[in-house]
Amino acid sequence: MITGLRHAGIVVADLERALSFWCDVLGFRIVKQLEEKGPFIDALLGLKDVRVTTCKLSGPDDNLVELLHFHSHPDKHSWGGTPYSTGLTHLAFTVDNIDDEYKRLRVAGVDFLGLPALSPDGCAKVAYASGPEKLLLEFVQIVDP
């Protein structure tokens, strides 16, 4: 039986840039960073000669994001999906004040798909942004009725 969601893993092309974004801009902190290689990681991923740096980051609510930078198996430099692509499309974060976060993140160079907008049911104000490697990030402010 599943007892919880452990973390979300994100493969990044530029680890330094991604860490700057996740830690300096979004406020996550590094809780564990490893250089992984050898039989265990090869077997786990079904690959040969894997060399990957993994960084577990803790968010303000202690949820974890894992950044993975593959030295041995590089892929594209950015995510090529769209909001309607099949599979994982985005990560969503709860914020206290979306208008303030929108302004702060824009100053930090974060690109948004549009302005923050109130959901049709009036329960949330939401905005989508493009993070490192073009991963979509959703910012949500819960609105009191």
* CA torsion, ordered 28, 30, 31, 37, to nearest 10 deg: 130
**Which residues span the domain enclosing 54?**
7-70
pLDDT digits 0-9 by tens, 36-81: 999 999 999 999 999 999 999 999 999 999 999 999 998 888 888 8
Q: What percent of the chain has pLDDT over 70?
A: 99
118-132: average pLDDT: 93
* Of the candidate ranges 12-21, 25-34, 82-91, the one whose mean pLDDT is the lowest: 82-91
Say if residues 34 and 54 touch (Cβ distance below 8 Å): yes
Q: Tell whether 52 and 107 lie within a shared domain.
A: no
Q: Tell whether 16 and 58 lie within a shared domain.
A: yes
pLDDT score of 5: 83
Give the pLDDT band of residue 88 (cuts 50, 70, 90).
confident
Tokens of 142: 């819960």
Residue 2 pLDDT > 80: no
Q: Assign 102 to helix, strand or coil.
A: helix
The rounded distance, in Å, linking the Cα atoms of 54 and 72 is 13
Residue 39 CA: distances (Å) to CA of 46, 50, 54, 71, 82: 10, 9, 16, 16, 35
pLDDT digits 0-9 by tens, 69-86: 999 998 888 888 888 888
For residue 105, the domain's CATH number is 3.10.180.10
Total domain count for the chain? 2
For residue 25, being part of any structural domain is answered with: yes
| Residue that terminates a domain, selected from 25, 41, 70 | 70
Q: Tell whether 98 and 66 lie within a shared domain.
A: no
Give the pLDDT band of residue 133 (cuts 50, 70, 90).
confident
